[in-house]
Structure formats: structure tokens, C-alpha cells
Amino acid sequence: MTVTQDGVPGGGPKRSVARRRRPLTFDRASFMVVFLGLPLAVFVIFVVSPFVQALYYSLTDWSGFSSGMNFVGFDNYVKLFHDDIFLKAVRNNIQLAIVVPFVTIVLALTLATLVTIGGSGTGTVRGLRNSGFYRIVSFFPYVIPAIVIGLIWAQVFTPGSGLLDAVLSKIGLHQFENYAWLGDARTAMPVSMFVMIWGFVGFYMVLFIAAIRGIDPEVFEAARIDGAGRFRTAVFLTVPLIRDNVQTAYIYLGIAALDAFVYMQALNPGGGPQNSTLVMPQQLFTTAFTKGQFGYSTAMGVVLATVTLLFAFLVFLVNALTGGRERKVKVRG
Amino acid sequence: MTTTADRAEFVAGSRAPDKQAREGKRVATTAHIALILWSLLVILPLLWTLLSSFKTTQEILGNPLSLPGKVQFSNYASAWTTAGIGRYFANTVVVVGSALVLVMILGAMCAYVLARFSFRGNRLIYYSMLAGLTFPVFLAIVPLFFVLKNLALLNTLPGLIITYVAFALPFTVFFLHSFFKALPGEVYEAAQIDGAGEWRSFFSVMLPMARPGMASVAIFNFLGLWNQFLLPVALNTDSNNYVLSQGMASFASQAGYAVDFGALFAAVVITVAPVLVVYIIFQRQLQVSVAAGSVK
């Protein structure tokens, strides 16, 4: 403000009043129409309108390309709650949403902690030397398309010709020879979870490294002088200080785990042995684009969206509830 | 264990630094070992894929760990032409390239107006963008299919491009919003006084100042669009128009019968290598972007 006032006689405030009163010139009008209108038109036509339409379609019996649609109220939802295959998919998604974010965050936090405060040194807390390499390598999976990650691991887990089979035989674990990791209902889900976690950890590791580096170093010094070991520093100091980052990560990972479509399509397109890796999006996709039951499939979409929002709400709630207690501990410490 | 040791050192005084140094070294070694193990877990499957892409299908099925008898580039040739990876690659470059340019322009314009002009409905638009970021695309996919069908854009590259733009828009606007908000107002005022209209103020003054933010968002958008799978699989079912991700998926499901594993591995390398190389060159910029995102 002062700068413009110095440069322009007459002062800033008066001019800004004048600007507000300025008539709508062609320049200004065309600017607003194009700058706001164009992006909004695209957004409304291709994002907002499909979401709104979905809510309506889910209340109809619309199926097939030619037949009309009748309003059936909540019939689709009632049917969904008696659909054993869909309920199985819901349970699988919930399992994924519980395990994948948790394991990913614990692993990513551990690795980030090792990089940031694992350095050798007396007194001061230092980052690990030559850790750039680990950071670069860990980030690889993030730049590989998820479908390709799935395809690579599907090959790794292939019985007979897969990398895992060969390695296990080499180290003498012959009981796993020709074991179909993805073809057995007991292991298909854990293995799929592993692949997803492998794909996610690197990104969150880098995110957490940045967050930990953002903490004031004096906090670490103080903890060190008070005699806190590295492990205690990491768990009781670092985690509470970057809890907002952890919360954000939890929500993103939860949303990704409730989707899981790409990974599952790559690892077991048919839903896996006894539908053990079937997820809601896969069932939705088949119901819509193979069976043509559009009304029913959009109802699945509504359930998926509801579960997603519930999950986000739950994470916020848990963070808010535990947040108060942590803060008290911090004050006392 | 470590905590009691630490406390003992603190009390012991003079002997402490020496002991602490040794302990520190032990921790550093453990950290290195853990990180090396993780790095191996990341790299080995990728190296194995690269290795297998030079082997014949018989070699792959025979011994998964063997080195290729003779370095085979024929896998790459057959993946590129027979399996159509070359065509998918070209389609992807066209679709992702166009969508990226469009979404950056439209997103920057929208974010700029929302961040720097106050008008009725501003907040409403901003929050509906935010909602568009959280809702699963799966909810919209069936109606979207018919929106494109009615506009005669189904199974066309322009249709796919505009859909990519629409679904990348909320993220772009959301992140650029804060960048435009942080720009100093004085420069804008100065441009106005110098007689620049709104159009010129934006393109010659404000947009260049938001360049760092634009770069970060462009990187994320590029990766997101390059990896996009659901939208093409649902809305772009003409195999001539396939993009890489869906082409890979369909090739892999065919390979189950035709068993050309060598070509499958080569196709994976073709898909992964360009982005991986670009990443290694620009990794510093990318890590900075991730860090910038984490601060928000």
C-alpha cells in the first residue's frame, strides 16, 4: 500500500473506491465471463451434473440402453443390503481402509524418522548421511502407473515363473513352490494389500520427511538434553507435532483404499478366489458396463461415496478427540 | 533400552559423549540397513522386470532368475507394434498433453478470479470445487458416460481430454488458489494504473508471478493424468483410442492366453521408463513440490 501511495499522488484508498465504482467495461466483462464461465461450464457439465444425476438414477430401475426408467424409491438400496456379493465387497473395502492406511503410515513414518533423526552425532539430532538415495528410490512407485504396479507384482507372484517363487526356492523354502499367492483365498487379500502399500509408502515417506524437517530443531535439542532417546523422541515428540500431516495422509490413503479399483483389476480382475479381493468399485463397474443395470450401479456409487465421507469424518473425529489429550501432555512435558 | 542408556550417560557426565557417539553410530547403521532393505524391496521387482524384458518367453517361464541368453530387443519391437503399445503411447501423449495444457490454463484462470475478486457466490464455487475433490469418481461414472454419449464425445479422444480436464480442475484450482492469494496486490494495482486491462494484468503480470505454483501443480497433474485408468476404461472403449494404462491392462489380460510374456515385460518398461527418467532428472523439484503441498 505504502509503495503505491508513494508512487501515485492521490493515494491508494481513494483509487480503490473508484475502481469499485468503475463501469463494467468490455475488458472487465469479457474477462469475468471467460475466466470464470469457461472453467465453471466444464466443471458443471462434466463433474457436478453427473454427481447430481447419480443421486436420481440410484432411485430408478434404469437398465439397458433402450428401455425407459421408473422411479422405484429406495428399492435399489434395499436390494443392495441383501446382495451377498456386494456386501462381501463392502467388507473387503472396509478391511482395506483399516489396514492399508495404518500400515502405510507406520512404515512411512518409520522410514522418514530413520532418515531425519537417525544420523550419528553427539548431542545434536542429525539427519542420516547419504539419505538422498533412499528418498529418491522410495519415491519410484509414485511415478509408476498403478495399473503397471499391479501388473509387475502379478508377475512377481506368478507361481513357477515369478520372482518370489524363484527367490523362496533359492533360500530353501520349498513348501511355497508353485504356490498361487493371488489364487488362494487365504493369501490373495494380504498380498493385494502389500502391493498397494508398496505403491503408497514412498510418497508419504517424502511427505513426512518434509514435515519433520519443518519442526523447529530446538525442540529436538531440548528433548535430547532432557535425556529422551531417539525412539521416544520419534514417538512422543515427532508424531504429535506433525499430526495434521498424518491426518491428511490418513484421509487420502483411506479414499485410495476405498477405491482400490486399479490395483485389484491388475491383480485379480475377476474379484479373486471366492471374491476375496472384490471391491465395491469393481462390482459397480461390472454391474454398470457389463450388465447394464445403471440404476442399481449408481446406488452402489452412492453407498461408496457415503462410506468415503464417513471415513473422512471418522478420521477428523478421532484426531479431534485424541488431539486434546496430546496437547495436555505436551504442555506438561 | 536406549532411554535408560541415555539417562545414564547424562548422569555419568565426562564419559557421555564417547558412549553417545558409539550409540549414535549404532543407530545410524541400523537405519542404513533398514533403508537399504526397503530400497531393495522397491528396486528388485523393477530390475527383474527390466531383465525379463530382454528374455524370450521360454527363458522367462524356464528360470525366472536367469540372465537373458542373448539380449533380445525383439520383445520391444513386438510390444511396440503387434501389441499396439506404440499407438497407445501416442494417444496418451496427445490426451495427457492437451488435457494438461487446458487444465493449467482454465485452472489458473478460475483460481485467480476466485482468489482475487470478491463477488456473490465466490465461496459457493470454491466449496463445490472442494467437494468435487473428495467425492469418488465412481459415483459420477455412469451419468458421465451418458453425458458424453449425448454430446457425441463417447469413445473419442476430445471427449477423454475434456473429461480429464474437468476432473483435474478441482485439484488445480484448490492449490493455485492459495498461490494467487499470496501474490502482492501492489503489482496488480501498478499494472492497472499503467493502463493494462484485466486480461493483460493476468497474462503478463499475475500469471508469470505464480510460476512456481504452476510448476508444482503441473507435475502432480501430469502424473495423475498419465496414471488415469478408470476414466479411459469406462469412457474410451474403442481400442484404436486406447491410452497406455488401459492398453497395458488389456494386453496383460490377452497375454494370459497368447503367453507373450517377453513382450508384456517390454511393454511395462516402455510405460515406466520415460516417466522414471524424467523423475530422476527433476526429482529435486518434485520433492520440493511434495514438501510445499505438505505445508498447506
Tens of pLDDT, residue by residue over B2-51, are 444 444 444 444 445 566 667 777 778 888 899 999 999 999 999 999 99
The one-character DSSP state at A234 is: I
**SS3 letters across A60-89:** ECCCCCCCCCCECCCHHHHHHCCCHHHHHH
* A60 bridge partner residues: A71
CA B95/CA A68 separation, integer angstroms = 34
Helix (H, G, I), strand (E, B) or coil at B196: coil
Q: What is the ipTM of this complex?
A: 0.87
Higher pLDDT, A217 or A272: A272
Angle among Cα B29, B33, B35 to the nearest 5 degrees reads 115
For the residues A58-77, what does the mean pLDDT come to?
82
List of chain B residues whose C-beta atoms are within 8 Å of the C-beta of residue A133 = 39
Window from A71-75, A240-244, B282-286 with minimum mean pLDDT: B282-286
Percentage, residues of chain A above pLDDT 90: 50
The domain limits of chain A are 2-57, 76-332
pLDDT above 70: residue A11 = no
| Closest CA of chain B from A248, distance in Å | 9
pLDDT above 80: residue A122 = no
Q: Which residues contact B26 (CB under 8 A, 6 or more apart)?
A: none
Q: Name the residue facing B162 among A46, A49, A146 (closest C-beta).
A: A46
| The pTM of the whole model exceeds 0.80 | yes
List of chain B residues whose C-beta atoms are within 8 Å of the C-beta of residue A1 = 186
pLDDT above 70: residue A2 = no
Q: Is the dihedral of CA A260, A263, A269, A271 positive or negative?
A: negative
Instruction: Please judge whether B264 and A151 are an interchain contact, meaning their C-beta atoms are less than 8 angstroms apart.
Output: yes
Instruction: Please judge whether A198 and B42 are an interchain contact, meaning their C-beta atoms are less than 8 angstroms apart.
Output: yes
For the residues A207-218, what does the mean pLDDT come to?
86
| Closest CA of chain A from B85, distance in Å | 13
For position B16, what pLDDT does the model report? Answer: 53
For position B128, what pLDDT does the model report? Answer: 92
Query: In Å, what is the CA distance from A316 to each residue of A212, A249, A251, A323?
Result: 21, 12, 9, 10
Q: How far is CA A77 from the centre of its chain?
A: 27
Percentage, residues of chain A above pLDDT 70: 86
Tens of pLDDT, residue by residue over B84-112, are 899 999 999 999 999 999 999 999 999 99
Instruction: Please judge whether B49 and A305 are an interchain contact, meaning their C-beta atoms are less than 8 angstroms apart.
Output: no
For position A65, what pLDDT does the model report? Answer: 58
Query: In Å, what is the CA distance from A119 to each residue of A108, A124, B23, B56?
Result: 17, 9, 11, 45
CB neighbour class for A84 (10 Å; exposed up to 12, middle 13-18, buried from 19)? exposed
Which of B18, B109, B142, B206 to probe by mutation at the A interface, max A CB count within 10 Å? Answer: B142
CA A29/CA B47 separation, integer angstroms = 57
Residue A127 near residue A115 (C-beta atoms within 8 A)? yes
For position A231, what pLDDT does the model report? Answer: 73
Residue A85 near residue A278 (C-beta atoms within 8 A)? yes
Tens of pLDDT, residue by residue over A166-176, are 888 888 887 77
For the residues A289-296, what does the mean pLDDT come to?
91
Tens of pLDDT, residue by residue over B133-192, are 888 999 999 999 999 999 999 999 999 999 999 999 999 999 999 889 888 888 888 888
Q: Which of B278, B248, B230 is nearest to A150 (CA)?
A: B248
For position B20, what pLDDT does the model report? Answer: 64
For position A294, what pLDDT does the model report? Answer: 92
Q: Which of B125, B72, B111 is nearest to B260 (CA)?
A: B72
CA A136/CA A140 separation, integer angstroms = 7
CA A210/CA A90 separation, integer angstroms = 35
In chain A, count H helices and then E strands. 19, 0
**Helix boundaries (H) for A233-333:** 239-241, 243-259, 261-267, 280-289, 294-332
C-alpha cell at A108: 512411512
Task: Identify the closest residue of chain B to A42 by CA–CA distance.
Answer: B166
| Number of neighbouring beta carbons within 10 Å of residue A237 | 20
Q: Name the residue facing B110 among A39, A139, A155 (closest C-beta).
A: A39
DSSP per position, B76-134: HHHHHTTT-HHHHHHHHHHHHHHHHHHHHHHHHHHHHHHHH---TTHHHHHHHHHHHHH
CA A313/CA A251 separation, integer angstroms = 9
Q: Name the residue facing A54 among B63, B110, B139 (closest C-beta).
A: B139
Q: Which of B192, B193, B213 is nearest to B201 (CA)?
A: B192
CA B246/CA B65 separation, integer angstroms = 29
| Number of neighbouring beta carbons within 10 Å of residue B29 | 12
| Closest CA of chain B from A211, distance in Å | 7
Instruction: Please judge whether B139 and A298 are an interchain contact, meaning their C-beta atoms are less than 8 angstroms apart.
Output: yes
For position B284, what pLDDT does the model report? Answer: 79
CA B213/CA B178 separation, integer angstroms = 9
Q: What is the average pLDDT value for chain A, to the nearest integer?
A: 84
Helix axes A49-57, B137-150, angle to 10 degrees: 100
Residue B232 near residue B245 (C-beta atoms within 8 A)? yes
Res. A328 pLDDT band, cuts 50 70 90: very low
For the residues A4-30, what does the mean pLDDT come to?
53
CA A219/CA A224 separation, integer angstroms = 9
Q: Name the residue facing B21 among A40, A122, A280 (closest C-beta).
A: A122
For position A22, what pLDDT does the model report? Answer: 56
List of chain B residues whose C-beta atoms are within 8 Å of the C-beta of residue A302 = 139
List of chain A residues whose C-beta atoms are within 8 Å of the C-beta of residue B144 = 46, 50
Q: Which of B23, B47, B141, B204 is nearest to A287 (CA)?
A: B141
| Closest CA of chain B from A184, distance in Å | 18
CA B91/CA B15 separation, integer angstroms = 67
List of chain B residues whose C-beta atoms are within 8 Å of the C-beta of residue A265 = 229, 249
For position A43, what pLDDT does the model report? Answer: 96
List of chain A residues whose C-beta atoms are within 8 Å of the C-beta of residue B271 = 145, 148
List of chain B residues whose C-beta atoms are within 8 Å of the C-beta of residue A227 = 3, 6-7, 10
Residue-range domains of chain B with CATH: 2-74 (no CATH), 83-295 (1.10.3720.10)
Q: Which of A72, A45, A146, A89 is nearest to A301 (CA)?
A: A89
Instruction: Please judge whether A152 and B186 are an interchain contact, meaning their C-beta atoms are less than 8 angstroms apart.
Output: no
For position B72, what pLDDT does the model report? Answer: 73
Q: Which of B146, B144, B150, B189 is nearest to B167 (CA)?
A: B144
pLDDT above 90: residue A202 = yes
Res. A120 pLDDT band, cuts 50 70 90: low
Contacts across the A-B interface (CB distance below 8 Å): 310
Residue B254 near residue B242 (C-beta atoms within 8 A)? no
Q: Name the residue facing A47 among B24, B140, B230 (closest C-beta).
A: B140
Res. A194 pLDDT band, cuts 50 70 90: very high
Instruction: Please judge whether B198 and A57 are an interchain contact, meaning their C-beta atoms are less than 8 angstroms apart.
Output: no
Instruction: Please judge whether A118 and B226 are an interchain contact, meaning their C-beta atoms are less than 8 angstroms apart.
Output: no
List of chain A residues whose C-beta atoms are within 8 Å of the C-beta of residue B139 = 51, 54, 298, 301-302, 304-305
Q: Name the residue facing A114 among B17, B35, B197 (closest C-beta).
A: B35
For position A1, what pLDDT does the model report? Answer: 35
Which of A128, A152, A300 to probe by mutation at the B interface, max B CB count within 10 Å? Answer: A152
Q: What is the average pLDDT value for chain B, to the nearest integer?
A: 86
Tens of pLDDT, residue by residue over B206-250, are 999 888 889 889 988 999 999 999 999 999 999 899 999 999 998
Residue B95 near residue B236 (C-beta atoms within 8 A)? no
Instruction: Please judge whether B28 and A129 are an interchain contact, meaning their C-beta atoms are less than 8 angstroms apart.
Output: yes
Q: Name the residue facing A163 among B61, B64, B173 (closest C-beta).
A: B64
Instruction: Please judge whether B142 and A7 are an interchain contact, meaning their C-beta atoms are less than 8 angstroms apart.
Output: no
CA A298/CA A281 separation, integer angstroms = 11
C-alpha cell at A192: 493385494
| A76-332 topology per CATH | MetI-like fold (1.10.3720)
